[in-house]
């Protein structure tokens, strides 16, 4: 008997009938919802070019994104994707629609002209909450404004003893360089910056350049790596909670921060107030809002904002200087003529080193330190361009949908930069090239512009200048067997952009110092 007849004659079990009806209703609901979404999107603007999915719900697309993330080819994959599809592409993945763009007009809209339409969103907050908590990097609205205003006085300017503290840890860094054997550059530079940032803002350095064990740093790296993958997974991230899949790192991170915050909170408030302008950030937060979670959230945010971009940029810069002896020697001559090799630089004398400044700017262009940038639409809105058959029409974005934007990719586009050798590191181009704020975004633009950009620039320039003063040669030593030495270095995308292979260099101390 046909199925319909069996249903009519009630010869099928009730549960089979109910299950079948439920499936039919679910399919109808999905189709109706899809139709409604299509109508809403059409009312807002055109559609972007879509990346083809072969499996239902874009499961294969999500798999590709995660695979490229884990294989450190995510940047190459998305760059090729945008080259082929146009500067904005639509990805349909489990959990909804994801837009990916490196169009400068869309990036400007997200960061500045339509800032109120896009935020971090609740999904990002949930994924990163065990690292960033309710800090400036994971919140929106009044709470974000409060966090930003709280941190601005500490990050937007340098303190009188910043360079004194930096020099103390730079001497420990040079102890590693003086071993006259190949060493992994990013490892020691990252530890160097970790020690400086914790010393300045926490009042107590991690001293990771001295100690062999680095549980806090290792825990942070593990948590960041997992959170980056969970970000790509979107709604499926809840299936891979970090407190289970990175249990040891989760405990170590919290133990380290809780111990130091509790120690500060235990100090008499009157004693802290006596220090007035000499209070570090942790002490200031303890006086204003003596709450462990609040203080911990802000301190980790400051650590990530101050340490990672600086350490990454310095490491890329050393990598390029080790292969560009001509640029190294030009910086060397400028230092010799303006500061000398024995006088330590300061904020004023660093201004007289144009080649060093250009080298930093070119490194920030080619190796933009911010990796995974995702915003969520706060309401139904649109991106200004990238839709339609000509790729020039506005693109509708529904409330809750996410847009990922790639600043590094845009800064490597000939059409944006105005020169052909976009993948070549060439500081000399800055002698005659002045980019617009849409072309060059080292610290973002708009209300979420990086609060620590002044501190960051000073750290980059001071560390590299001191390195050139102390060492007359940097020799690139390949990848230490991790890969063939003629293989190009790939970009590893996490919260920040890193290196897929070790940067191995040897430093030769200057004989006149």
Mapped onto helix, strand or coil, the DSSP state of residue 152 is helix
Query: What number of helices (H) and strands (E) belong to the chain?
Result: 20, 13
What is the C-alpha to C-alpha distance for residues 175 and 471, in angstroms, rounded to an integer? 12
Helix (H, G, I), strand (E, B) or coil at 449: coil
Instruction: State how beta strands 491-493 and 497-499 pair.
Output: antiparallel
How far is it, in rounded angstroms, from Cα 75 to Cα 235? 22
Burial annotation 132-157 (CB, 10 A radius, 16+ → b, else e)? bbbbbbbbbeeebeebbebbeebbee
Strand partners, 90: 50, 99
Question: What are the phi and psi torsion angles at 405 (to 5°)?
Answer: -125, 145
Burial class (CB in 10 A: 0-12, 13-18, 19+), 228: buried
What tokens were used for 394?
């506005």
Would the annotation count 450 as a binding residue? yes
Q: Is 293 helix (H, G, I), strand (E, B) or coil?
A: helix
Element (DSSP H or E) covering residue 55? none
HSE at residue 443, side-chain half, CA atoms within 13 A, is: 16
**Partners of 93 in beta bridges:** 96
Provide Rg for the chain, Cα atoms.
Answer: 26
* Burial of residue 188 (number of CB atoms within 10 Å: 0-12, 13-18, 19+): buried
Query: Residue 504 in contact with residue 478, Cβ under 8 Å?
Result: yes
Q: What angle do CA 430, 466, 513 make, to 5 degrees?
A: 130
Q: Contact 508/179 with Cβ under 8 angstroms?
A: no
**Alpha-carbon distance 190 to 334, whole Å?**
27
Q: What is the residue-wise DSSP string for 306-344?
A: HHHHHHHHHHHHHHHHTT-HHHHHHHHHHHHHHT-SSSP
Three-class SS of 221-276 = HHHHHHHHHHHHHHHHHHHCCHHHHCHHHHHHHHHHHHHHHHHHHCCCHHHHHHHH
Annotated binding site for heme: 450
Please give the annotated binding residues, written as ranges.
450
């Amino acid at each position: 008997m046909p199925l319909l007849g069996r249903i009519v004659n009630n010869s099928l079990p009730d549960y089979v009938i109910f299950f079948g009806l439920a499936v039919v209703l679910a399919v109808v609901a999905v189709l109706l919802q899809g139709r409604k979404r299509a109508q809403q999107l059409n009312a807002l603007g055109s559609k972007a070019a879509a990346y083809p999915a072969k499996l239902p719900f874009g499961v294969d697309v999500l798999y590709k994104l995660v695979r490229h993330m884990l294989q450190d080819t995510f940047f190459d994959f998305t760059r090729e994707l945008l080259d082929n599809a146009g500067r904005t592409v639509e990805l349909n993945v489990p959990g909804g629609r994801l837009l990916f763009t490196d169009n400068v007009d869309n990036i400007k809209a997200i960061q500045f002209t339509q800032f109120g339409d896009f935020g971090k969103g609740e999904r990002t907050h949930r994924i990163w909450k065990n690292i960033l908590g309710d800090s400036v990097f994971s919140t929106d609205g009044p709470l974000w404004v409060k966090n930003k205003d709280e941190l601005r006085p500490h990050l937007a300017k340098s303190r009188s003893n910043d360079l004194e503290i930096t020099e103390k840890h730079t001497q420990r860094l040079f102890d590693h360089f003086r071993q006259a054997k190949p060493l992994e550059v990013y490892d020691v530079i990252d530890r160097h910056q970790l020690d400086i940032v914790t010393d300045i803002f926490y009042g107590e350095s991690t001293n990771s350049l001295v100690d062999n064990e680095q549980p806090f740093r290792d825990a942070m790296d593990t948590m960041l790596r997992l959170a980056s993958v969970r970000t790509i997974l979107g709604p499926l991230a809840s299936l891979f909670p970090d407190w289970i899949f990175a249990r040891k790192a989760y405990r170590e991170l919290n133990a380290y921060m809780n111990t130091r915050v509790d120690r500060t909170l235990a100090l008499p408030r009157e004693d802290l107030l006596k220090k007035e302008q000499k209070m570090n950030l942790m002490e200031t937060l303890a006086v204003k809002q003596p709450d462990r979670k609040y203080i911990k959230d802000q301190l980790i945010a400051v650590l990530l904002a101050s340490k990672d971009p600086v350490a990454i940029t310095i490491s890329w810069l050393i990598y390029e200087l080790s292969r560009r002896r001509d640029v190294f020697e030009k910086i060397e001559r400028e230092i010799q003529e303006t500061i000398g090799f024995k006088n330590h630089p300061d904020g004023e004398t660093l201004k007289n080193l144009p080649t060093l400044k250009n080298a930093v700017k070119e490194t920030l262009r080619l190796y933009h330190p911010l990796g995974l940038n995702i915003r969520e639409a706060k309401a139904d809105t649109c991106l200004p361009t990238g839709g339609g058959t000509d790729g020039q029409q506005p693109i509708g974005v529904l409330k809750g949908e996410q847009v990922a934007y790639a600043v590094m990719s845009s800064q490597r586009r000939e059409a944006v930069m105005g020169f052909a050798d976009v993948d070549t590191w060439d500081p000399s181009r800055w002698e005659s090239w002045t980019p617009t704020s849409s072309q060059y975004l080292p610290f973002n633009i708009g209300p979420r512009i990086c609060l620590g950009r002044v501190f960051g620039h000073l750290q980059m320039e001071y560390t590299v200048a001191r390195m050139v003063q102390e060492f007359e040669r940097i020799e690139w030593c390949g990848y230490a067997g991790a890969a063939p030495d003629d293989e190009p270095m790939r970009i590893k995308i996490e919260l920040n952009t890193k290196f897929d292979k070790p940067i191995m260099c040897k430093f030769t101390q200057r004989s006149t110092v």
